[in-house]
Amino acid sequence: QLQLQESGPGLVKPSETLFLTCTVSTGSISSGSYYWGWIRQAPGKGLEWIGTIYYSVTMYTTYYSPSLKNRITISVDRSKNHLSLRLTSVTAAEEAVYYCARQKAVTATSAFDIWGQGIKVTVSS
Amino acid sequence: EIVMTQSPGTLSVSPGERATLSCRTSQSVNSNLAWYQQRPGQAPRLLMYDASTRATGIPARFSGSASGTEFSLTISSLQSEDFAVYYCQQYDNWPRTFGQGTKVEIK
């Protein structure tokens, strides 16, 4: 089964840019057309969807949380078989475990059925 | 943005008993609602999608139902591994939104 693995720096300074990647293993990010999302969870809090990319070989579309719209970029690198999250001007409130996940079906209206294990990001100077 | 309201916040149940968790959406999401289980230190796991369809490998003691904007997840006979936090999520509209979670704890 497809597996996802998040990676990136575990520590980011306030006001700097967070850059995370999600590597797809035992499968290809280019196989079919899927929706790939990023979800985060602050310590002791619930899940927060932050963005999704619909990716196919011929096109992509991104959807972002309105609260992050001007600071977030999600992209796919086919050659590296991974998707990326870029979040600028981070604050301490964005300290969280960041998960990548894939939607179950190729339609927009589907649940996240495959999740990475998550990566903890600390925001501190 | 669709607001998801889960209740109760915490549910105390004895092993073997039945648990019913609720999720209300602020507007119609059709049946585009999922339930996830999250155990401590683990990533969420998809339990139910399309409101009432069990995901692959999910035991039959889990069931989901819907009535308008009211959704429920029922665990018919709680096992030790079911004590966890449960989240509902709508995927009908952007932005996607989650409920705040219901913690099922051992009574």
Query: Order of strands, edge to edge, in the sheet holding B70-75?
Result: B4-7, B19-25, B70-75, B62-67
Q: How confident is the model at residue A59 (pLDDT cuts 50, 70, 90)?
A: confident
At A33 the pLDDT is: 85
Predicted confidence at residue B100, as pLDDT, reads 98
Task: Say if the Cβ atoms of B96 and A104 lie within 8 Å.
Answer: no
The tens digit of pLDDT for each residue in B76-102 reads: 999 999 999 999 999 999 999 999 999
- A67-120 pLDDT, tens digit per residue, is 998 999 999 999 999 999 999 999 999 999 999 999 988 888 999 999 999 999
Strand B45-49 relative to strand B19-25, pairing: unpaired
Chain A within 8 Å of B55 (Cβ-Cβ)? yes
The mean pLDDT of chain B is 97
pLDDT at res. A30: 81
pLDDT on residue B76: 96
User: Residue B48: closest CA among chain A residues belongs to which residue?
Assistant: A111
Q: How many residues does chain A have?
A: 125
> Predicted confidence band at B35 (pLDDT cuts at 50, 70, 90)?
very high
* CB within 8 Å: A66 and B87: no
- How far apart are the CA of A103 and the nearest CA of chain B, in angstroms? 10
The answer to whether the Cβ–Cβ distance between B94 and A109 falls below 8 Å is no
Q: How confident is the model over B1-12, as a mean pLDDT?
A: 98
Could B43 and A104 be called an inter-chain contact, meaning their C-beta atoms sit closer than 8 Å? Answer: no
Q: Hey, what are A111's tokens? A: 């649940």
Show the CA angle centred on residue A7, arms to residues A112 and A39, nearest 5°.
Answer: 30
- Write the burial class of residue A73 (CB in 10 Å: 0-12 exposed, 13-18 middle, 19+ buried): middle
pLDDT tens profile A14-58 = 999 999 999 999 888 888 889 999 999 999 999 999 999 999 888
Taking the Cβ of residue B43 and every Cβ of chain A, the question of whether any pair is shorter than 8 Å is answered with: yes
Banded pLDDT at A1 (limits 50, 70, 90): confident
Q: What is the pLDDT of residues B43-87, one digit of tens each?
A: 999 999 999 999 999 999 999 999 999 999 999 999 999 999 999
Find chain B residues with C-beta within 8 A of A37's C-beta: 96
Task: Establish if B66 touches chain A: CB-CB under 8 angstroms.
Answer: no
User: Inter-chain contact B98–A115, Cβ cutoff 8 Å?
Assistant: no
